[in-house]
Amino acid sequence: MRIQQVKNTTREQRVATHSHIKGLGLRDDGIADPIAAGFVGQENAREACGIVVDLIKSRKMAGRALLLAGAPGTGKTAIALAISQELGPKVPFCPMVGSEVYSSEIKKTEVLMENFRRAIGLRIKETKEVYEGEVTELTPEETENPLGGYGKTISHVIIGLKTVKGTKQLKLDPSIYESIQKEKVTVGDVIYIEANTGATKVRRGLDDSEEFIWFYGESTDYDVVRRVGRSDAYATEFDLEAEEYVPLPKGEVHKKKEIIQDVTLHDLDVANARPQGGQDIMSMMGQLLKPKKTEITDKLRKEINKVVNKYIEQGIAELVPGVLFIDEVHMLDIECFTYLNRALESSLSPIVILATNRGMCLIRGTEDVLAPHGIPIDLLDRLLIIRTLPYTVDEIKVIVSIRAKTEGLGIEDAAVDRIAQRGIETSLRFAIQLLTPASILSKINGREAIALEDVSEVDDLFFDAKKSAKVLAESESRFLM
């Protein structure tokens, strides 16, 4: 009998720009590893951010913010995301760019406050009567449309749930089936159904047994179904890596369970600001003609804050301050900076991380006020400033090699050296962009790996910013002014 060892199916894959960032990559003593958690280099900046994470966890960061200052492509956004990862998976992370505040629909300060509220989470704990288990059956039962015509309508849905101790079959009203479709539930998923949510009630079957239960709902304003994840019995190498696998629930299908729901303050603002109109024609037309965005009043936010503080005092809810990341902060004007000063002093304030690549420059909205990074001095006094340094040749070589491996590209050492040198002369971002076109050229030339000739040819075909500016300066007379 022949026995073969199966290789690990875990593979490196680049899903998005910063999907490889898993944390700051620090040891237990706070020292940064040169290559760890998706980072290469920037040890000083990462170690400083580790101290900031400790300050946040010990609740000693209130009223202050963090500024990441460095050249473009030095990992400022990645570091901000890593701080959020270090704080925990349920901590809200709200990224924005300074130019987003210039909206034609709502005020600049309203955009800032909206993002502030998005970055503050609220963890609500409730004990509810639920039916929990792995879905073994999901069968919608159709009937003739009572309004006539050829179409059919769903009368009810049969769903089977399985736990370690047993199984149950439930009969759901069509209104609850909408929640199942919204959560994209399929056979093999672990879900729970709240039995006492809103106007939804529970009635036993004709034989008064618990094996067949009928749910009927009078309102569809409540999502009574929650998808926990995919049952780990279905975990194979062919499933999506982003899927979250959970074990088969223990205990009975019908139980009382402590439900934890994570929402943001902005979610509460929007839910309470949205008017609940009637079903008449005028109400429906009024909702259609409403602007896309509506400003939420300070009065409403204060009322919501009172309720939130009341829940926190009663122990029902817990406040989870998240991370608000404002990139290109020099794009904000003097009015926004004044508003930021006040917002940082608020009792309900997230951890604010700013990033900029500017030196001494004019503060937007003024005519003659120069300031470091384009930020007023009074706001700079509130900031802890961390500098990100340009990458060295050796670090760029490692980054290029990792990126080539992640994208499944073969590359020779001489080609890596050439790309790294171009990264020093131009920028890391431009150097990384040479990889994909060079790989296409290598395939055209019949090579299995990217060679030095491929990189040189691509470098001649595409201009970097400095080379383009030089050509423009030499032939300025040929271009329109």
Residue 204 — very low, low, confident or very high, per pLDDT cuts 50/70/90?
Answer: very low
Give the closest residue to 223 by CA, choosing from 251, 245, 191: 191
In the CATH scheme, what architecture does the domain 35-119+322-388 have?
3-Layer(aba) Sandwich (3.40)
Mean pLDDT of the chain: 77
Domain segments of the chain: what residues?
Answer: 35-119+322-388, 124-265, 393-472
Give how far Cα 282 sits from Cα of 220, 294, 354, 453, Å.
Answer: 22, 19, 46, 70
- Per residue in 282-325, pLDDT (tens digit) is 444 444 445 555 667 888 888 888 888 888 888 888 888 888 88
Q: What is the pLDDT of residue 18?
A: 63
pLDDT higher at 149 or 471: 471
Q: What percent of the chain has pLDDT over 90?
A: 0
What three-state secondary structure class fits 153?
strand
Q: What is the pLDDT of residue 108?
A: 85
With 0-12 / 13-18 / 19 or more C-beta atoms within 10 angstroms meaning exposed / middle / buried, residue 15 is exposed
pLDDT at 278 over 50: no
Give the closest residue to 264 by CA, choosing from 320, 307, 314: 320
Is 39:46 a contact under the CB 8 Å cutoff? yes
What three-state secondary structure class fits 61?
coil
pLDDT higher at 428 or 146: 428
**Cα separation, 420 vs 41, whole angstroms:** 15
Question: What does CATH list as the number for 393-472?
Answer: 1.10.8.60
> pTM of the entire structure?
0.66
- Helices then strands, counting H and E runs in the chain, come out as 15, 19
pLDDT at 70 over 80: yes
Q: Which residue, chain included where needed, has tokens 């400003």?
A: 295
Residue 63 — very low, low, confident or very high, per pLDDT cuts 50/70/90?
Answer: low
Q: What b/e string do you get for 322-358 counting C-beta neighbours within 10 Å, with b at 16 or more?
A: bbbbbbbbbbbbeebbebbeebbeeebbbbbbbbbbb
Whats the size of the chain, residue-wise? 481
- Per residue in 217-259, pLDDT (tens digit) is 333 334 477 788 888 777 664 544 456 788 888 888 877 777 7
What does the DSSP 8-state code read for residue 277?
Answer: -
- Per residue in 20-29, pLDDT (tens digit) is 677 788 888 8
Q: What is the pLDDT of residue 288?
A: 46
Give the closest residue to 136 by CA, choosing from 178, 57, 78, 189: 189
Q: What is the pLDDT of residue 132?
A: 84
Using DSSP bridges, classify how beta strands 225-231 and 39-40 pair: parallel, antiparallel or unpaired: unpaired
What CATH number does domain 124-265 carry, 2.40.50.360, 2.40.280.10, 3.40.190.10, 3.90.1150.10?
2.40.50.360
> Cβ contacts of residue 342 below 8 Å, gap of 6+?
none
